[in-house]
């Protein structure tokens, strides 16, 4: 018998499957795959306990490239299937790879219900603000008035802000990261893995074929430092190449201030991802929509709450303890019975 992967020290290679990776050259999905393959061996979970579930889309090809258990299901339904897997066996580490269309368009309902239940699955949403696999229609995260294959005169839907939607659904762990900022992405993945409950991670992902440069205003190397606001629990909301800018609470909203270096950092708001009330996280979620603001990345919210799968299995145990060893034959004879002789 071959040695279980769990018995050896694992590396990235252990998580590479034998299938050729088939995304367009230059696609942001490669970087995400790389990050996940780097993080998984570090989680202390035997390889055979990982299950990756996906729907349909370029991003949803993800499971094929991971040498773990995987289920490439149907469009939008990964959270439903993942819920069944996790409930059936809570020892498994269940991850979802999904796209902005898969998760937020056809799959929006399953997503918000998984988040409200707080079932312990990790949802990686590859947001490229476009339908990649079907070759370039707008998605629920595409900016309004975008010209795409299906909207030659411009789309008219207002987009979702995914972090806000997740918070509105009651998500206990909500984060945002970027395909090409490996260290940040890996850190967020590790924290998501450590969270016991649903984790929703929006990952900015470049689709260089149908929506190239969608996130350049924030993540391009040249502007990145000044345009991204990294959130660190307990740390002041400060950013910029020289950390010259910060966030303070204005009259009714959050404001950006330039720091003069005179110790005025202490007036800055401190990030608090552990706050039970999701209002602060929600405020930050919308913050990046204003083009004059930096885009927050990192963990918006990370609060503890009993996970759904944990509750389900606790209830099974409790009822069993109360009712004792079951007998099917007794169950059949429950209620009024009589004897014919």
Partner 1 sequence: METDTQKMKRTRPAETVEHVTIRFAGDSGDGMQLTGNQFTSTAAAFGNDLATLPDFPAEIRAPAGTLPGVSGFQVQFAASDVSTPGDTPDVLVAMNPAALKVNLEDLKPGGVLIVNTNSFTPKDLKKAGYEESPLEDHSLDGYRLHPVELTRLTRAALEQTGLDTRTIDRCKNFFALGMMYWLYSRPLDNSLRWIEQKFAKQPALLEANSLALRAGYGYAEAAELFEVNYVVPPAKLDPGQYRNVSGNTALALGLVAAGQRSGLRLFLGSYPITPASDVLHELSGYKHFGVITFQAEDEIAAVGAALGASFAGNLGVTTTSGPGVALKTETIGLATMAELPLVICNIQRGGPSTGLPTKTEQADLFQALFGRNSEAPVPVLAAATPSDCFRMAYEACRIAVHAMTPVFLLSDGYLANGAEPWKIPEVDRYPPIEVSFRKEPEGFLPYLREPETLSRPWAVPGTSGLEHRIGGLEKEERSGNVSYDPGNHERMVRLRAEKIDRIAASIPDQEIEGDQEGDLLVVGWGSTYGAIHAAMAHRKRREGDRIGHAHLRYLHPLPRNLEDVLKRYRRILVPELNMGQLLWVLRARYLVDAIGLNKIQGRPFTENEIIAKIDEILEGDAS
Ligand X SMILES: Cc1ncc(C[n+]2csc(CCOP(=O)(O)OP(=O)(O)O)c2C)c(N)n1
Q: Which residues here bind ligand X, judged by CB under 6 A? A: 56-59, 75, 99-102, 126, 128, 130-134, 139
d(CA 200, CA 229): 19
The SS3 assignment for 258 reads strand
Output the smallest distance, CB 113 to ligand X, in A.
14
Residue with tokens 């239940």: 117
CB neighbours (10 Å) of residue 6? 13
Site for partner 1 in 13-52 (CB under 8 A): 17, 19-25, 46-51
d(CA 266, CA 270): 9
Torsion-angle region of 289 (φ positive above 0: left; ψ -120 to 50: alpha; else: beta) = alpha
Choose the one of Mg ion, ligand SF4, partner 1, none that binds residue 100, judging by a C-beta under 5 to 8 angstroms depending on kind: Mg ion
203 scored as a contact of ligand SF4 (CB under 6 A): no
109 scored as a contact of partner 1 (CB under 8 A): yes
Q: Which stretch binds Mg ion (CB under 5 A): 8-16, 93-101, 191-199, 227-235?
A: 93-101
Q: Which is nearer to ligand X, 68 or 139 (CB)?
A: 139
Output the smallest distance, CB 218 to partner 1, in A.
25
Question: Could you tell me if 303 and 276 are in contact, meaning their C-beta atoms sit under 8 angstroms apart?
Answer: yes
User: What is the maximum span of the chain, computed from C-alpha positions, in angstroms?
Assistant: 97
* Tokens read off for 250: 């204005």
Q: Which of 298, 116, 132, 293 is nearest to 202 (CA)?
A: 298
d(CA 178, CA 188): 10
CB neighbours (10 Å) of residue 226? 15
Q: Which residues contact 76 (CB under 8 A, 6 or more apart)?
A: 55, 56, 102, 103, 105, 106, 107, 108, 110
With CB under 8 A as the contact rule, the residue among 89, 243, 267, 319 that binds its own copies is 319
128 scored as a contact of ligand SF4 (CB under 6 A): yes
Output the smallest distance, CB 79 to ligand X, in A.
13
Eight-state DSSP code of residue 106:
I
Q: Round the CA-based radius of gyration of the chain to a whole number and report it.
A: 23
Kindly write out the interface string for residues 95-134 of this chain, putting x where it contacts its own copies by CB under 8 A and - elsewhere.
----------xxxxx--xx--xxx----------------
With CB under 8 A as the contact rule, the residue among 37, 68, 164, 205 that binds partner 1 is 68
Choose the one of Mg ion, its own copies, partner 1, none that binds residue 69, judging by a C-beta under 5 to 8 angstroms depending on kind: partner 1
Kindly write out the interface string for residues 221-260 of this chain, putting x where it contacts its own copies by CB under 8 A and - elsewhere.
-------------------------------xx-------
Q: Which is nearer to ligand X, 132 or 197 (CB)?
A: 132
* Tokens read off for 10: 């694992």
Residues contributing to the site for its own copies (CB under 8 A):
105-109, 112-113, 116-118, 140, 153-154, 156-161, 164-170, 252-253, 272, 275, 277-280, 282-283, 286, 305, 308, 311-312, 315, 318-319
**Which residues of the chain form contacts with ligand SF4 (CB under 6 A)?**
23-24, 27, 29, 58, 128, 132, 207-210
């Amino acid at each position: 018998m071959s040695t279980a992967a769990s018995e050896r020290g694992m590396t990235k290679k252990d998580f590479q499957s034998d299938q050729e990776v088939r995304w367009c050259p230059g696609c942001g999905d490669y970087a995400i795959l790389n990050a996940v393959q780097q993080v998984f061996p570090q989680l202390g979970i035997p390889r055979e306990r990982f299950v990756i579930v996906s729907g349909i889309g370029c991003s949803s090809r993800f499971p094929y490239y991971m040498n773990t258990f995987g289920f490439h299901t149907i469009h939008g339904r990964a959270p439903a299937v993942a819920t069944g897997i996790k409930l059936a066996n809570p020892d498994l580490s269940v991850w979802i790879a999904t796209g902005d269309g898969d998760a937020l368009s056809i799959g929006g309902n399953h997503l918000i219900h998984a988040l409200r239940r707080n079932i312990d699955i990790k949802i990686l949403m590859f947001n490229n603000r476009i339908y990649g696999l079907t070759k370039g229609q707008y998605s629920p995260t595409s900016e309004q008035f975008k010209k795409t294959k299906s909207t030659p005169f411009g789309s008219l839907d207002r987009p979702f802000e995914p972090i806000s939607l997740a918070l509105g659904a009651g998500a206990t762990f909500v984060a945002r990261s970027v395909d090409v900022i490996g260290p940040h992405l890996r850190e967020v993945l590790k924290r998501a893995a450590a969270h016991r409950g649903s984790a929703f991670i929006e990952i900015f992902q470049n689709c260089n074929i149908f929506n190239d440069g969608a996130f350049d205003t924030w993540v391009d190397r040249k502007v990145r430092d000044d345009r991204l606001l990294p959130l660190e629990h307990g740390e002041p909301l400060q950013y910029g190449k020289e950390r010259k800018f910060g966030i303070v609470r204005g009259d009714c909203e959050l404001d950006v201030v330039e720091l003069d270096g005179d110790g005025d950092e202490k007036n800055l708001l401190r990030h608090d991802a552990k706050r039970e009330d999701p209002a602060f996280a929600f405020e930050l979620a919308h913050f990046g929509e204003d083009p004059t603001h930096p885009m927050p990345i990192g963990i918006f919210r990370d609060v503890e709450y009993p996970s759904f799968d944990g509750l389900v299995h606790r209830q099974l145990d409790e009822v069993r303890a109360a009712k004792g060893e079951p007998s099917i034959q007794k169950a059949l004879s429950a209620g009024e019975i009589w004897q014919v002789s």
